Amino acid sequence: MKKITGMVAMMMLAGWGAQALAEDANSFSGWLFTLDRMKEVRAVDNEQYAEECGACHFAYPPGLLPSQSWHKLLAPEALADHFGENAELDDDVLAEIQQFAYTHAAEHSYYKRSRKIARATADGSAPLRITEVKYIKRKHHEIPKRMIKDNPDVQSLSNCNACHTQAEKGVFDNDTVNIPNYPDWDD
Partner 1 sequence: MTSRVFAWMLMAALATPAFSGQQLIEQLQSQYRNQGATTFTAERGKQLWEQQITNKQGEQRACTSCHGMDPRQSGQHATTKKPIKPMAMSVNSARFSDEKKINKWFTRNCKWTWGRECSPQEKGDILQYMLTL
Is the Cβ–Cβ distance between 65 and 125 less than 8 Å? no
- The size of the interface with partner 1 (CB under 8 A), counted in residues, is 14
- What whole-number distance in Å separates Cα of residue 89 and Cα of residue 77? 10
| Among the listed residues 27, 48, 159, 166, the single contact to partner 1 using CB under 8 A | 159
Nearest-approach distance from CB 54 to partner 1, in angstroms: 9
By CB under 8 A, is residue 23 in contact with partner 1? no
Show the DSSP H helices in the chain as ranges.
2-22, 28-33, 47-54, 67-73, 76-79, 91-103, 112-120, 134-140, 160-163
- What whole-number distance in Å separates Cα of residue 118 and Cα of residue 114? 6
By CB under 8 A, is residue 101 in contact with partner 1? no
The letter for the amino acid at 57 is H
Is the Cβ–Cβ distance between 59 and 104 less than 8 Å? no
By CB under 8 A, is residue 87 in contact with partner 1? yes
By CB under 8 A, is residue 14 in contact with partner 1? no
| Among the listed residues 19, 125, 131, 155, the single contact to partner 1 using CB under 8 A | 155
| Among the listed residues 28, 86, 145, 186, the single contact to partner 1 using CB under 8 A | 86
By CB under 8 A, is residue 36 in contact with partner 1? no
Interacting residue ranges for partner 1, rule: CB under 8 A? 56-57, 80, 83-90, 155, 158-159
